[in-house]
Chains A and B, each alone.
Chain A
């Protein structure tokens, strides 16, 4: 049945009206894509939310489409997005994975933006890491230093003081590792390390001991320096801790942190992200913080912000505006308060954070100690091969423990394999 003429006319008119009124609205509603693994993180996620809110308030008609991707699937997702020609406008990456993206020319050089915005990055923690092929391709969002959290009650029960060096730490860890209920299964551990999962995290755990022994994976020129007496000592310490099961075995980082927060582990070296986990744990009232008993502490760059090189010029400009807000002194100050982490900006006002977070000064001290010692989890000269290198280090260390190999032999093997990786 045909529609009457007046109805058809009205319908056409309505469609035309809708189309013409919708056009300006469409033009105004610009969407910037921002993918992050920190969306639901307590503190840091709230801070990102505040940056987005500020950006949208100062850029009417522009919305940030904020998508969460789990950390475990993040590299895969970002690789797929870039390879498929659909990168996010605002690029958030871990500081050990951006190099591959930069090497492919997928990250916009930020020097012109930094220059025109007069953004002062002098003294910005970890910013040196963001250089690639003599250009700045990102801005560092977090540089951290490890502190030590300890269960005061468990230490007191054993009549132990907070350890101040490796020997004391080892003695305390041995005394605190015990079978409490006598069922033949150890249910309280001296310390806690991830010994299952990714190579990067495994390496960070090992570095507590290798750094204190004076060992480094590479020197400042990127030359591999593993086959040294210091590294042998570091590997020996790691082997002792794991082989004697002073740490629960085969657990992922999150599980170890939870066990510590619940009072099953006495001493734990970790970064600022441990604090919110402690707050939700059963043993939160028994846990105190101090500097790590090692020198220097593990530390390093964590995550970076950049711009995808292939988005439109307009989107690049908007993405930079977003970065400018995130790196402003005002938001760097709130980063300290909300994220309970030392911001990379040396000009940030952290007095509020010191009031809100009792251990904030300790975090700053730990971060400074790591930064002064130029500690980073990503060895210089092995940035592009970091994942392979980390996996190799993990496997050779596991082999050392499983097959009870001499750390001297293991250090020599690692040296050879790392050099081969560098030549690839």
Chain B
């Protein structure tokens, strides 16, 4: 029996259908685990709800959560902390990542070991990294206080997690340590794709190392830099475990980012509607930031 024409995927005009068919399971799965919860979250943000039940009728529509959010000093403080964290951590991740990538891109004895050591923090689970740094910066028994005292930099121990500024600095250091290897790996991949001929031609023209870096290396790395910057910023923006395990957002909300605030409102205070509003705003900010950076990326290529 001949196959019906509309199912004949061998026909040139139907061939793209096969692609869609093959993609369908993945699309459905993404829809189920990402898009649907997203819709639920947006819906919840417009309801005055504590702990929601999906099988119960929705509460009346309200914008109270957003009104409360935008008039809440806590939200603006969390936004400011998030912004500070994103800028500082991203900047230093890039500085360290690019530096180490340039370093291990050279040929020298022990290069493989150096590359391994550079990438090592990335392989360490976040919670393990936090435990390590929490003990390094422990106020009473930590290594950092001991080193500082031995070096004569301080004469009394610093209570790292009792001071808003110190706690913020510790979180930054931990995130930079955890995040720079990713930048380093990406940069290394970018560096290895730059043809050696460029450098040879530049040397013939008498360009020094700095000129080769600014005129060849960095412009060639721009596409990779753009994508990496977006990924690092998004990671810092939404990272939860490092801050939550290390400081819980304290002291005095000095390390309370938007993701910590979302979690606390949802699972600490059981205000899911309000927490969803924080989550939705965070999502919108992330999307806008990504679009702005992505929009700039092609210009830099």
By a beta-carbon cutoff of 8 Å, the part of chain A in contact with chain B is: 75-76, 79, 82-85, 100, 103-104, 183-187, 189, 195-198, 245, 248-251, 387-388, 391, 394-395, 398-399, 401-402
Contacts and interface: CB of A to CB of B under 8 A. Distances in A.
Given A100-B50, A402-B164, A185 B145 contact: yes
A132 to B, nearest CB: 15
B270 A100 contact: yes
Given A185-B146, A249-B162, A250-B159, A196 B51 contact: no
A84 B250 CA distance: 31
B71 to A, nearest CB: 15
8 contacts: A76-B267, A83-B52, A83-B53, A184-B155, A187-B141, A196-B250, A250-B140, A387-B270
A355 B251 CA distance: 45
Contact of B250 (A75, A83, A100, A398): A398
Contacts of B252: 395, 398-399, 402
Point out which of B50, B163, B268 has the most chain A C-beta atoms below 10 A from its C-beta: B268
A79 B162 contact: no
A387 B140 CA distance: 28
B200 to A, nearest CB: 55
B139 A388 contact: no
B161 A249 contact: yes
Contacts of B149: 183-185
Given A75-B267, A388-B269, A85 B55 contact: yes
B160 interface: yes
Given A395-B252, A402-B162, A250 B270 contact: no
Nearest to A250: B161
Nearest to A395: B252
Contacts of A198: 248
A82 B267 CA distance: 13
A189 B150 CA distance: 21
B250 A395 contact: yes
B157 A83 contact: no
Contacts of B164: 402
Contact of A196 (B50, B161, B272): B161
B238 interface: no
Q: Which 9 A-B pairs have the closest CB atoms?
A: A250-B161, A248-B140, A249-B139, A76-B267, A184-B149, A250-B139, A249-B159, A398-B251, A388-B269
B248 A197 contact: yes
Given A248-B140, A250-B139, A104 B51 contact: yes
Nearest to B55: A85
B267 A79 contact: yes
B253 interface: yes
B148 to A, nearest CB: 10
A75 B252 CA distance: 23
B138 interface: yes
B268 A391 contact: yes
| Chain B interface main SS type | loop
Given A249-B162, A398-B250, A402-B162, A183 B146 contact: yes
Given A250-B162, A398-B162, A79 B270 contact: yes
Residue from A185, A195, A388, A391 whose CB has the most chain B CB atoms within 10 Å = A185
A401 B267 contact: no
Nearest to A197: B248
Interface string B55-71: 10000000000000000
A184 B164 CA distance: 24
A196 B160 CA distance: 11
Contact of A387 (B52, B141, B268): B268
A197 B162 CA distance: 12
A76 B264 CA distance: 10
Contacts of B272: 83
A402 B254 CA distance: 12
A395 B253 contact: yes
Contacts of A103: 50
Contacts of A75: 267-268
Contacts of B55: 85
Contacts of A398: 162, 250-252
Contacts of A184: 149, 155-156
B53 A85 contact: yes
Contacts of B54: 83-85
A120 B264 CA distance: 39
A75 to B, nearest CB: 6
A185 B161 contact: no
A185 B159 CA distance: 12
A264 to B, nearest CB: 8
Contact of A248 (B50, B139, B269): B139
Interface in B96-114: none
B140 to A, nearest CB: 4
Given A85-B54, A249-B140, A391-B268, 18 more contacts: A83-B53, A85-B53, A85-B55, A100-B50, A100-B270, A104-B50, A104-B51, A183-B149, A184-B149, A185-B149, A186-B140, A187-B141, A196-B250, A249-B162, A387-B269, A395-B253, A398-B250, A402-B163
Nearest to B154: A184
Contacts of B50: 100, 103-104
Given A83-B52, A83-B54, A184-B149, A251 B140 contact: yes
Contacts of A197: 248
Contacts of A391: 264, 268
A12 to B, nearest CB: 30
Nearest to B137: A250
A395 B54 CA distance: 34
A193 to B, nearest CB: 12
A402 B140 CA distance: 17
Contacts of B268: 75, 387-388, 391
A196 B130 CA distance: 15
Contacts of A189: 140
Interface in B242-290: 247-248, 250-253, 264, 267-270, 272
Contacts of A399: 252
Contacts of A185: 140-141, 145-146, 149, 157
A307 to B, nearest CB: 18
A49 to B, nearest CB: 29
Nearest to A252: B134
Nearest to A77: B267
B81 to A, nearest CB: 15
